[in-house]
Amino acid sequence: MQTLNVVDTGLRYLQLCLEYYTDGCAYFLLYIAALLFVAVAGTKKEKLVFLPSAALLFLSVYNPVFPIILNQIFDVNKEYYRFFWLAPIIIIIPYVCTRLLMLQETKVKKGIVAVVIFAILCLSGNFIYANGYEQAPNVYKVSDELIEIADIIHEDSEVEFPKALMEYYYNMEMRQYDPSILLTINREDYIYAVSNEYTEEMLEDDTNPQYKLLALLVRYQDISAEDFKRALDMTNTEYMVVSSDNAIIPYFKQAGFRMVANTENHTIFHYELTEPVTFELIDYSGLR
Amino acid sequence: MLQIITGFLGICANFIIYIAFGSLITVRKKDEKWSLALTIVIGFFLYYSIFFFFCVPMMLRFQTLTSLAYLWLVVIAIIVVLSGLLNGRRWFAKAREIANKLKATPLFYVGFILLCLVQGFLITNAYNFTLDATYYVGNVATSVLTDTMNIYDPYTGMWQDHFEMRYFFATYSMNDAVMCRLSGLKALIQTKTVMTASIIMIIQCIYYLVVQELFGEDKKAQFIMLFLMTFLNFTFITIYTSHNFLLTRTFEGKAVVANLVLVVIAYLYMLLLKEHNGRRIWWYLFIVCFGSTTISSSANMLVPAALTVFMLPLIFIKKDIKILPKYAACILPGLVMTLIYVAYVKGYFVIHTY
């Protein structure tokens, strides 16, 4: 819920938050329907199991005033939706559906109710594989090409921990597979770059040279080759991995970066650092 | 191939360990009935609770991951042997009991096992890109490579001058790193296959307990409900639902809290409705609450909230104020962790890595 803010939306926050959370799914309505079923036709045990907690949830989590009060103590803007996990939807909806099915006396009635329940559940939700099931390409669950790129960088590099600048997806996945490749850009900087332009002031900020790299790589902002190289030097970045169809490739070639290799969809470039700094692990033996 | 075989053995080892840990709590007197599914669930939380007490002091002393791994291996070995000596006969008796149950109602158990296997296969073989994996899996991989714990930035690999307290007490991912060190598995396989498969199976255990509690011996109804629970998990999908976390981010502590911890609390509430003075149930609840804080910092907020939603009404239902201190004890771990984190965010303290 990155875009929702309790202060801005006030009492509407809860409704908006629920809309984002359910995103067209009707399961929350089914939860209320299941509670009503238990309230009207449930046994004493069922009422004790499901209704008291639901009553407290509606007084607190599903009360529009609650997020406003809570936000005074903690910043709940981004994570309020997690309170919706408290509703035992995974128990009560399947339970009530099963009860309804078991209540039917004949097989014909059971069949009809089963079809109706199944149809309601199908129409109420979004199937996880609605757009197809994407099987992992290998046991590591990263692309084969990423593994190939990691191998190419290590073969080419003279250091144990080469540092690289990569496009979004590989930047997020590379260190899960191969942590010996250091990355220039952290996650938050990348997320910022995806949706924000860099201002002149930010680009002149030498304490954050990665802004220049992202401004060119992600935003295609006008960064001179000299400035870009200086940023690579300041961040000790030797390698750049970009998609083969990236419009930045002629720029890299013109800047004199060495093309290390081409994989199926990516091109790896190398920059000769002016003053390379070898990364070493901190020795903690003296502190133990 | 070796990684796949090791991964499969890792899943089996996990369950042996959880049963051994859980049996110390759930199995007591001779001939007393005990539940294997509940033993696995409680064993899982007890395992992570005990791991926490070894991991945190060693992190604070900048010990190597390898040191923790070998120490933890010794602890596991002692507990498994001890539990085996104390409960070995009961395990064999339970195995015979399960075999008899399988013979008595084969359709139910075959269906249930198939349901588990299909979910396990689909989830562990799917490709999912999630931003949070960059941190969680990256942290395991980085810790293994550097032979340290939580010191290097998972995103970039650079040294951090202080511990990030949001993740410091959630030692769940450090256990993954320990297991990688001991088994030689890659972080991606440990997290996205071994732990993913293990978590899915443990969640099926709690589902099994819930349907048993709600439908007694009616196996047909139990199976229909189990099937519908699975169906709901696969269909109530938006980027925010707990079900989406279960299917795409199973290896994250948050997914464990959302899909396991909260259901376990609801189940234990059902048991407390029948026996609210049952000391053992309160102990289970405490272990689950404490264990969950070591799995994800999300538990620090959600577990006290869940306990409030379930246990405050219990006081009125049972008209017994003595429930209050037990409830307070169970929310304490989450509250303490929350206060520590708030103090860190407000700048009252920082733990440097030098």
pLDDT tens for each residue of chain B, 354 residues long: 888 899 999 999 999 999 999 999 998 777 778 999 999 999 999 999 999 999 999 999 999 999 999 999 999 999 999 999 999 999 999 999 999 999 999 999 999 999 999 999 999 999 999 999 999 999 999 999 999 999 999 999 999 999 999 999 999 999 999 999 999 999 999 999 999 999 999 999 999 999 999 999 899 999 999 999 999 999 999 999 999 999 999 999 999 999 999 999 999 999 999 999 989 999 999 999 999 999 999 999 999 999 999 999 999 999 999 999 999 999 999 999 999 999 999 999 999 999
* CA pseudo-torsion sign A204, A207, A209, A210: negative
**Set of chain A residues whose Cβ sits within 8 Å of the Cβ of B167:** none
CA–CA distance, A177 with B186 (Å, rounded to integer): 8
Is residue B352 a part of any domain in this protein? no
Helices (H), chain B: 2-26, 36-60, 65-104, 106-125, 131-146, 165-168, 172-183, 187-189, 196-215, 219-235, 242-248, 253-256, 262-274, 279-293, 299-318, 323-345
User: Which residues form the domain of B254?
Assistant: 2-345
Is residue B221 a part of any domain in this protein? yes
Q: Which of B142, B160, B183, B238 to mutate to test the interface with A (most CBs of A within 10 A)?
A: B238
Say whether A56 and B313 touch across the interface (CB within 8 A): yes
- What is the domain count for chain B? 1
**Torsional class of A259: left (φ above 0), alpha (ψ -120 to 50), beta (otherwise):** beta
Both A163 and A98 in one domain: the answer is: no
pLDDT in tens, A132-185: 999 999 999 999 999 999 999 999 999 999 999 999 999 999 999 999 999 999
- What is the domain count for chain A? 2
Which residue in the block uniquely carries the two structure tokens 């802004």?
A211
CA–CA distance, B263 with B38 (Å, rounded to integer): 12
Is residue B251 a part of any domain in this protein? yes
Is residue A280 a part of any domain in this protein? no
CA–CA distance, A258 with A252 (Å, rounded to integer): 8
Distance of alpha carbon B64 from the chain centroid: 25
Please tell me the distance in Å from A187's CA to the nearest CA on chain B. 6
Say whether A97 and B228 touch across the interface (CB within 8 A): yes
Is residue A263 a part of any domain in this protein? yes
Identify whether the C-beta of residue B45 lies closer than 8 Å to the C-beta of residue B18.
no
User: CATH number, domain at A230?
Assistant: 3.40.50
Is residue B200 a part of any domain in this protein? yes
Is residue B164 a part of any domain in this protein? yes
Mean pLDDT within A230-259: 95
Is residue A134 a part of any domain in this protein? no
Is residue A131 a part of any domain in this protein? no
Q: Which of A277, A285, A174, A204 minimizes the C-alpha distance to A235?
A: A277
Distance of alpha carbon B69 from the chain centroid: 19
Q: Which of A179, A137, A122, A156 minimizes the C-alpha distance to A257?
A: A156
Tell me the three state secondary structure of residue A260: strand
Is residue B256 a part of any domain in this protein? yes
Say whether B62 and A288 touch across the interface (CB within 8 A): yes
**pTM > 0.90: yes or no:** yes
Tell me the three state secondary structure of residue A74: coil
Q: Which of A122, A123, A161, A176 to mutate to test the interface with B (most CBs of B within 10 A)?
A: A176
Both A87 and A184 in one domain: the answer is: no
Number of C-beta neighbours around residue B347 at 10 A: 7
User: Which residues form the domain of A112?
Assistant: 6-124
Is residue B68 a part of any domain in this protein? yes
Tokens describing residue B313 = 């009404």
